[in-house]
Structure 1
């Protein structure tokens, strides 16, 4: 092994978990970054007796993609690594193509990994990707979280995503591949200046005379990652002291909330909304700032599929009825992605929101001391138009509503995973 290869292998291994899972996946597109990752991970896996599996996502958007997947399959075969091509056929021509393709890629990889009992997948993002992401987010006036960039480890849909090459540049990886005599395939979209990432790539090249390089911006992002982690701990401790969970809703102590720095207030709002409505793209900062002001002043508002409902010195954060209207499941199945409602066997029972029609049929909801709006989006059991049960509103009738086992605990959800 050459000195270059040994250095790259050591750099990548240092960014992987101390103990690797017995079965590990690697996503390979055929480009230089991911091909280098496949080769380097194959060496690491062999030395540590880890079963390595490879997958290529074909988004079906370019005719060359199928050929690229075949190339990866052949390369993986020579390395003795099982390989599968995952084909996406879900784009209907609407919406942001890049975003939908990215979401589909992670979804396909998660399904593939789950089917092979793979708990973690390594991805080929590099220091250049980190630097480009930093510049793009800088242009959007991102805060500490955004500027901390791509995370080296992240849990998504039950799958651990590992990015062990964030300290390595594309140039180093291509030098390594050339030394190894291994070819790669360049995606022509990497030259398309219509994409923001390609514009950022060009800007980064122009900044090198100022000492602003992929390595320097990666170090900045890592410094901001440490700052983000400290803020997350502060936000978690603040949530523990002033936020209570009540039947899936959050009750904030407004007086304590008003004493917090603005950044921690924002994090408490974003964390609460994400925990109740599900993790997705966080609300825009302007909406978050409006929500913070609403809590400070004790006024009602809505944000991200949730309601903020004042009650004296309390502020209730709950699901918004409009966000769950029309959601229907059977007992025992997930409702609103987080509730599982179970109870006696009742023919034709459905789980739907309690709503304006159901709340008047619950005689004792006032005894729970919560504003009426908090109950409207709670799960209820219906048979046609007859209300059978509303467990979170004090009308259980033998039924129970529990958060799904994979739903995170509220206070722990403030920390990155």
Structure 2
């Protein structure tokens, strides 16, 4: 655990994501032996009739271990297309929100060596490239918390042995054995081929080491050449841009979980023409420079304005005392809200229209990034730009843990 730090001192807890299964119960048991100020976060996804009872039983078992827990209930998750992806996103959103609430900077998750091999197999089948084959990192910084996977080097059998030796009960989720899911099929294939399992995990470590080195080089390029605006766009210099860097920028500006396909980015990286891709717009700007901004047609619809709300997967609203029925939405036509007499903005109107704004009825009350406040209630409103992932996180993959982590 020491090499996965730095860790907070006393007074700031470390959170643990606990599903109730053997893996996460083993993690909770080990984490409690590591330090006292750990807090378990148990998510009830509501997809099975037994999920609430199982979540409550898990909290009881955690309490017996001396681990305080919180129950997080997902609301609005419906069955249908891409359900697993939607459930995963909502689960992590709930976990991150709970971490902010309790002041935790780190979230421990129980992914183990078997999970890593399964991930490599699935990404290999999807031809996801070298970065994808690095699979899961030991440490992944996201918006305002670190995801830490201390069990990646340990087998599932070891974790079962841990909970059995400690006399801890756990929950078995039947969906883990559902062969209609790709992960369950990968798990079955690897269970029959131990050599393949070991080879995939070794390959992931090699790919992870290469990815850390490439992240370091790309971070230096960004620091030297790119200018990132808090409103959610980037100015890039004239000339070619490293394709991997451009893909990462498009992912962040578009509020996506994954970068676009490499072949889609390669042609754009030379700055030869304007284009839209994965929710981002690439356009020529001044002196041969380029802007990468949010695609106006892709921004999220309006939503109720409340402090802590996340709009367009990128902006978190911080405000006090907002009137009821106010909404968050794109600022829209600039002429309707740009103050008279201020003069023209240096930024294109198509970029300004995508800025987050506070609306009352059909009128824009505030565009904080432009310093516009038309109502006293909006005077302290701030939109923090916090996309789902940093551009380059400097995630820690395998290795000896001595790599310096960097983040942009």
Whether these two folds match at TM > 0.5 is: yes
Residues 356 and 383 of structure 2 are in contact (CA less than 8 Å); yes or no, is this contact kept in structure 1? no
Correspondence for 1:306: 280
Q: For residues 64 and 330 of structure 1, what CA distance do their matches in structure 2 show?
A: 34
- Aligned residue among 219, 223, 226 for 2:209: 226
Say whether 1:25 aligns with 2:1.
no
Residues 251 and 316 of structure 1 are in contact (CA less than 8 Å); yes or no, is this contact kept in structure 2? yes
Residues 309 and 317 of structure 1 are in contact (CA less than 8 Å); yes or no, is this contact kept in structure 2? yes
Point out the structure with max Rg over C-alpha: 1
Residues 192 and 198 of structure 1 are in contact (CA less than 8 Å); yes or no, is this contact kept in structure 2? yes
Correspondence for 1:269: 246
Distance 1:355 1:95, change over 3 A: same
Residues 212-267 of structure 1: CA distance to partner in whole angstroms, max 9, x if unpaired? Answer: 225x433322221221111112212222333334574322223243xxxxxx31x2
- In structure 2, stretches of 5+ residues that fail to align are 320-324, 396-406
- In structure 1, stretches of 5+ residues that fail to align are 1-12, 258-263, 343-347
- Matched ranges for 1:393-412 at <5 A: 404-405=383-384, 407=386
Secondary structure of the 2:154 match is coil
Q: For residues 130 and 204 of structure 1, what CA distance do their matches in structure 2 show?
A: 11
Residues 131-156 of structure 1: CA distance to partner in whole angstroms, max 9, x if unpaired? Answer: 11110111100112211111222234
Q: For residues 17 and 146 of structure 2, what CA distance do their matches in structure 1 show?
A: 13
Correspondence for 1:79: 65
Residues 2-41 of structure 1: CA distance to partner in whole angstroms, max 9, x if unpaired? Answer: xxxxxxxxxxx35642545532222222222112112212
Residues 277-306 of structure 1: CA distance to partner in whole angstroms, max 9, x if unpaired? Answer: 33x323430xx5334413525211112222
**Cα deviation, residue 99, structure 1:** 1.3
Correspondence for 1:34: 24
Q: For residues 176 and 306 of structure 2, what CA distance do their matches in structure 1 show?
A: 48
Q: For residues 117 and 251 of structure 1, what CA distance do their matches in structure 2 show?
A: 34
Q: For residues 52 and 391 of structure 1, what CA distance do their matches in structure 2 show?
A: 37
Residues 237 and 289 of structure 2 are in contact (CA less than 8 Å); yes or no, is this contact kept in structure 1? yes
Say whether 1:251 aligns with 2:235.
yes
Q: For residues 205 and 19 of structure 2, what CA distance do their matches in structure 1 show?
A: 26
- Matched ranges for 1:373-388 at <5 A: 373-378=350-355
Residues 116-143 of structure 1: CA distance to partner in whole angstroms, max 9, x if unpaired? Answer: 3333222111110111111011110011
Q: For residues 224 and 330 of structure 1, what CA distance do their matches in structure 2 show?
A: 43
- Aligned residue among 142, 164, 168 for 2:154: 168
Residues 156-204 of structure 1: CA distance to partner in whole angstroms, max 9, x if unpaired? Answer: 4523222110010011122233333333332222221111111111221
Residues 300 and 309 of structure 1 are in contact (CA less than 8 Å); yes or no, is this contact kept in structure 2? yes
Q: For residues 299 and 33 of structure 1, what CA distance do their matches in structure 2 show?
A: 49
Say whether 1:88 aligns with 2:59.
no
Residues 283 and 292 of structure 2 are in contact (CA less than 8 Å); yes or no, is this contact kept in structure 1? yes
Say whether 1:319 aligns with 2:305.
no
- Aligned residue among 12, 29, 37 for 1:51: 37
The answer to which structure has the higher helix fraction is 1
Say whether 1:212 aligns with 2:212.
no
Which TM-score applies when normalising by structure 1? Answer: 0.75
Q: For residues 289 and 283 of structure 1, what CA distance do their matches in structure 2 show?
A: 11
Please provide the CA RMSD for this pair.
4.0
How many residue pairs are counted as aligned between the two chains? 384
Bigger relative contact order, structure 1 or 2 (CA pairs below 8 A, ≥6 apart)? 2
